[in-house]
Amino acid sequence: MNLQKKLFQRTTRRQLFENCGIGVGKTALTSLFVGDRLFASTPAAGYHHAPKAKSVIYLFMAGAPSQFELWERKPELQKLSGETLPPSLLEGKRFAFMDSFVKSPPKLLGTRRAFKQHGESGQWVSECLPHTAQTVDDLAFVRSVHTENFNHAPAKIMMNTGSPIFGRPSMGAWVSYGIGSESKDLPGFVVLQSGPRGPRGGAMNWAGGFLPTSHQGIPFLSGGAPILNMSNPQGFDEKRQAATIDAILDLNRMNLEKYGDPEIETRIAAYEMAHRMQTSGPELIDFSTESQATLDMYGAKPGEKSFANNCLLARRLVERGVRFVQLYHSSWDHHGGPGENLDENLDEVCLSADRGCAALIRDLKQRGLLDETLVVWGGEFGRTPMGEQRDTLGRNHHIDAFTMWFAGGGTKPGQSIGETDEIGFSPVKDPVHVHDIQATILHLLGIDHTKLTFKFRGRDFRLTDVGGNVIQKLLA
């Protein structure tokens, strides 16, 4: 029994250690705890001001939705449909699939979709998104977003990391690094995916880059356990797994006594958290506690790989303190080629996305969570007011002006920010750069984007590079 006594003493030490705790949202500690002592000397920033939002749900519409079919009503573009675009507008611009634009000058394309005004705020939304249209009074549209890269992967990386160069930390990783997470048994930054394919650029979209690895986004799997290796090996039920982890930790404590290396303490804490993740994971994805009405509102069907399910899961994740949830839904890349036309193919993706978005807003609101949860909707760029002739008429990538919307988390609902010209080619009022979006998201979370930096390769890096202004009009 000598051993038991010794272990008890060690346990007391462990508890002391636990109390200064992993996962209590204290990032300076968390960054110590990730065990990379090389970084321990650079404590993360923590809050710079009182946060408005506790968590973010970012609905990333992969492939770039057409603002002209969904949000942007442009009577003048309808009138000019079929006219050749004045070449002066193309001067000095670069586009994807340039050679088709150069060889046959593009013609303007009016939409075939009907628009109506909705809500008290009277926002225009097309027939494609009937459910979202009913929530417009909770949304704030930014109609003048512009970015810098006209190909999917670099533009996605730009939207997520503030740079088109692969390998920088993503927004969720920056946030996790800056203010940590409130969840004790789930990762702070979770990525969900639905639609026919994963986002271009893959893991680079939720990379930790040069930040400590523990801040990178963790992709949840659809079907079965959400995290890789969350289930015990065959033959090990919860009791046996617990006994096994106990044995591992006791032996680690014995070695800790010999070597006194704080890394061993960190590993003990990591195993304890892993074990908590294993027990909370099944509960997280178990939708049986949700009412039928809730499931119906989302259109969620337990066990299905769908955007609707992911929206519901996102709500459950932020309820459990997860800081940043990003949903990728594909594909919105409607060039007009086979499977990517602006007719039934657009219908399909709208149908799969619309209800989940609207339900998420309503559900968060009815649970009193919308105030503290920022919801972001948008793609990596927009689409051209000109048509692109493939098998059918589609639209090419457009980086100069596109639409995103925001809800909750300290944003001012029922408004539109920014305007584009009559054909929607360029912003004419309040242009908003990608870095401005990023600065604003960080601002709402209580972070000053100019102060959240990390020194790497000889200089301080930040999410917004050298740009970014908080969109003041967006704030409540």
Partner 1 sequence: MPRCCFILSAAAVIFCAGLNAADDAGKVRFFEERVRPVLAANCLKCHNDQAKMSGLSLASREAAMLGGSRGSAVIPGQADASLLIRAIRRTGEIKMPPAGPLAANDVAALSDWIGQGAAWGSAPPRERVTAAHWSFQPVRRPSPPRLRDPSKARNAIDFFIQAKLEEKGIAPSPEADRRTLLRRLSLDLTGLPPTLEEIRAFLDDRRSDAYERAVERLLASPHYGERWGRHWLDIARYADSNGYSIDGDRSIWRYRDWVIDALNRDMPFDRFVIEQVAGDLLPNPTQEQLIATGFHRNTMINQEGGIDYEQYRVEAVVDRVNTTGAAFLGLTIGCARCHDHKFDPISQREFYRLFAFFNNIDELGGNIPDGEGPAFRMQPLLEFGKPEDFVRREALDQQIEALEAELLQYQKTIEKDWESRFELSGDTVEERIPEILATLIEERATIDRGLLSRFFSEKDAAWKARQDGIRALRGALPKLESTLIMRELPAPRESYIHVRGDFTRKGDAVEAGTLAVLPPMKKTDNPNRLDLARWLVSAENPMTPRVTMNRLWQRYFGVGIVETENDFGSQGTAPSHPELLDRLASEFVRHDWSLKAMHRLIVTSATYRQSSAARPDAAKADPVNRLLARQNRLRLEAEIIRDAGLTVSGLLSPAVGGPSVFPPQPAGAGQFTQVDRKWKADEGANRYRRGMYIFFRRSAAYPGLVLFDAPDAQASTTRRNRSNTPLQALTLLNDETQTAFAENLAKSILAAAKDRGERIRFAFETCLARPPNEDEQQRMSQYLARMTDAFATDSEDDGAGSPQEAAWLAASRVMLNLDEFVTRQ
Contacts with partner 1 in 291-330 (CB under 8 A)?
A: none
Q: At a CB cut-off of 8 Å and minimum separation 6, what does 366 contact?
A: none
Closest to 289 measured CA to CA, from 319, 323, 322, 326? 319
Site for partner 1 in 104-123 (CB under 8 A): 104
Site for partner 1 in 358-417 (CB under 8 A): 389-392, 397
Binding of partner 1 by 277 (CB under 8 A): yes
Nearest distance from C-beta of residue 154 to partner 1, angstroms: 8
CB-wise, 18 or 76, nearer to partner 1? 18
Structure tokens at 85: 């675009």
Of the listed pieces 76-84, 161-169, 365-373, 407-415, which binds partner 1 according to CB under 8 A?
Answer: 161-169
Binding-site member from 197, 301, 412, 429 for partner 1 (CB under 8 A)? 197
Binding-site member from 15, 16, 114, 459 for partner 1 (CB under 8 A)? 459
Closest to 359 measured CA to CA, from 61, 129, 60, 116? 129
CB-wise, 7 or 28, nearer to partner 1? 7
Give the dihedral sign, CA 453/456/459/465: negative
Neighbours of 99 (CB within 10 A): 8
Cα–Cα distances (Å) from 339 to 201, 261, 342, 361, 425, in that order, read 21, 57, 9, 30, 26
Cα–Cα distances (Å) from 408 to 45, 54, 169, 377, 395, in that order, read 24, 11, 25, 12, 31
CB-wise, 7 or 371, nearer to partner 1? 7
CB-wise, 123 or 205, nearer to partner 1? 205
Site for partner 1 in 212-271 (CB under 8 A): 212-214, 218-219, 221-224, 227-236, 239-241, 243-248, 250-252, 254-256, 258-261, 263-264, 266-268, 270-271
Binding of partner 1 by 426 (CB under 8 A): no
Structure tokens at 186: 């789930």
Binding of partner 1 by 89 (CB under 8 A): no
Neighbours of 339 (CB within 10 A): 13
DSSP state of 474: G
Please list the helix, strand and coil fractions of the chain in percent, rounded to the nearest 5, in that order: 40, 20, 40
Site for partner 1 in 41-70 (CB under 8 A): none
Binding-site member from 329, 435, 443, 449 for partner 1 (CB under 8 A)? 435
Nearest distance from C-beta of residue 203 to partner 1, angstroms: 6
CB-wise, 73 or 275, nearer to partner 1? 275
Of the listed pieces 64-72, 90-98, 282-290, 291-299, which binds partner 1 according to CB under 8 A?
Answer: 90-98
Distance CA 154, CA 381 (A): 11
Is the separation of the CB atoms in 394 and 106 below 8 Å? Answer: no
CB-wise, 134 or 280, nearer to partner 1? 280
CB-wise, 341 or 373, nearer to partner 1? 341
